[in-house]
């Protein structure tokens, strides 16, 4: 039995509709249903942890997304296994979004859009992909895929992750001791890291200062990775040329937030990539079946590392 666990009404409605459409009948219930006492898996998006801890048969806390930071893993007291969603269509959509972002800066579309508003006809030098280095922070399933695709398109790609990774044709760096060397190369820096205590505010002045003059950033990780004040300062100082931001600590982003109004920032409303709801439901249903059968789970997360 799967219990649907989210404290956000708008999300809960979407999740219920997805389970009604794609899950087997009577395989799921709500937190207030008596059947929740028999639930072995919780399908979660910002769940009420106290209610989860009260479920006597719960074994698996399952994210309904690729990330798990919304689960509040630390409060779960290590009692449950944790899984996340991995979807090939999620990878494809993320690649499309990031490629748009790279081209936005590589081909000077940021400048052309400003010129368009002022009726300025100015041709800027084209920069070939082979001379435009892309840096990727986070080389997990998604980052590895993006790195290979960009490599095949002719971009020089550098990548950084917590632990060492070996990706053919991609120069990789690992750990705090290699971060400074990594960050010197990218003309566009893409963040795909999981949000942990170690990666919170990694997009801050200390990182921006090490980037090459005129570099840009694209944040599709989590809002907590970004120190917004430091970004605004780096843009105003002219050290960074621009930023594309898709994730924020508070969503929706309030109309008064200065990120909306800076001329060198593009804000998108957390739309870079979404897993297909059919895939989400099917993976959760399958993992619940694996829990009950004592089988190895799909896409299990290391609860100590948080990813």
Side-chain half-sphere exposure of 151, counting CA atoms within 13 A? 16
pLDDT of residue 83: 97
* 84: pLDDT strictly greater than 90: yes
pLDDT of residue 174: 98
29 DSSP β-pair partners: 3
Catalytic residue, chosen from 270, 274, 296, 305, is 270
Confidence of residue 77 (pLDDT cuts 50, 70, 90): confident
Mean pLDDT over 272-277 rounds to 90
* 306: pLDDT strictly greater than 80: no
Active site residue 274: no
**How far apart (Å, rounded) are the C-alpha atoms in residues 231 and 24?**
47
What is the percentage of the chain residues whose pLDDT exceeds 70? 100
**How far apart (Å, rounded) are the C-alpha atoms in residues 276 and 260?**
28
Tens digit of each residue's pLDDT (9 = 90 or more) over 106-161: 999 999 999 999 999 999 999 999 999 999 999 998 999 999 999 999 999 999 99
pLDDT of residue 43: 97
Side-chain half-sphere exposure of 165, counting CA atoms within 13 A? 23
What is the percentage of the chain residues whose pLDDT exceeds 90? 87
pTM passes above 0.75: yes
Spans of all domains in the chain: 2-87+275-293, 88-267
More confident residue, 220 or 66: 220
Domain 88-267 has CATH 3.40.50.720: yes
pLDDT of residue 153: 98
Domains 2-87+275-293 and 88-267 share a fold: yes
Mean pLDDT over 61-78 rounds to 89
Active site residue 270: yes
**How far apart (Å, rounded) are the C-alpha atoms in residues 205 and 303?**
29
Q: Which residues contact 249 (CB under 8 A, 6 or more apart)?
A: 223, 224
Catalytic residue, chosen from 62, 222, 239, 261, is 222
**How far apart (Å, rounded) are the C-alpha atoms in residues 6 and 15?**
9
CATH class of 2-87+275-293: alpha beta
pLDDT of residue 122: 97
**How far apart (Å, rounded) are the C-alpha atoms in residues 299 and 296?**
10
């Amino acid at each position: 039995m799967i219990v649907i666990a989210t404290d956000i009404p708008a999300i809960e409605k979407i999740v219920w509709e997805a389970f009604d459409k794609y899950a087997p009948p009577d395989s799921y219930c709500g937190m207030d249903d008596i059947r929740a006492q028999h639930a072995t898996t919780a399908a979660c998006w910002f769940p009420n942890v106290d209610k989860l801890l009260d479920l006597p048969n719960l074994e698996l806390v399952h994210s309904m997304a690729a990330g798990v930071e919304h689960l509040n893993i630390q409060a779960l007291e290590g009692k449950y296994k944790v899984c996340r969603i991995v979807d090939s269509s999620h990878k494809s959509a993320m690649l499309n979004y990031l490629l748009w972002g790279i081209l936005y800066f590589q081909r000077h579309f940021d400048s052309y859009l400003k010129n368009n508003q002022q009726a300025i006809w100015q041709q800027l030098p084209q920069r070939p992909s082979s001379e435009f280095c892309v840096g990727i922070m986070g080389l997990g399933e998604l980052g590895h895929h993006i790195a290979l695709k960009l490599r095949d398109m002719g971009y020089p790609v550098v990548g950084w992750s917590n632990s060492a990774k070996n990706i053919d044709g991609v120069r990789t760096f690992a750990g705090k001791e290699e971060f400074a060397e990594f960050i010197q190369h990218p003309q566009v820096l893409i963040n795909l890291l999981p949000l942990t205590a170690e990666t919170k505010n990694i997009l801050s002045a200390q990182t921006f200062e090490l980037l090459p003059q005129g570099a840009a950033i694209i944040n599709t990780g989590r809002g907590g990775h970004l120190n917004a004040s430091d970004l605004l300062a780096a843009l105003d100082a002219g050290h960074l040329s621009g930023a594309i931001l898709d994730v924020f600590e508070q969503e929706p982003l309030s109309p008064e937030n200065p990120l909306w109004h800076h001329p060198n920032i593009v804000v998108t409303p957390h739309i870079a990539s979404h897993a297909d709801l059919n895939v989400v439901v099917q993976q959760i249903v399958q993992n619940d079946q694996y829990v009950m059968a004592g089988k190895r789970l799909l896409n299990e997360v290391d609860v100590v590392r948080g990813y």
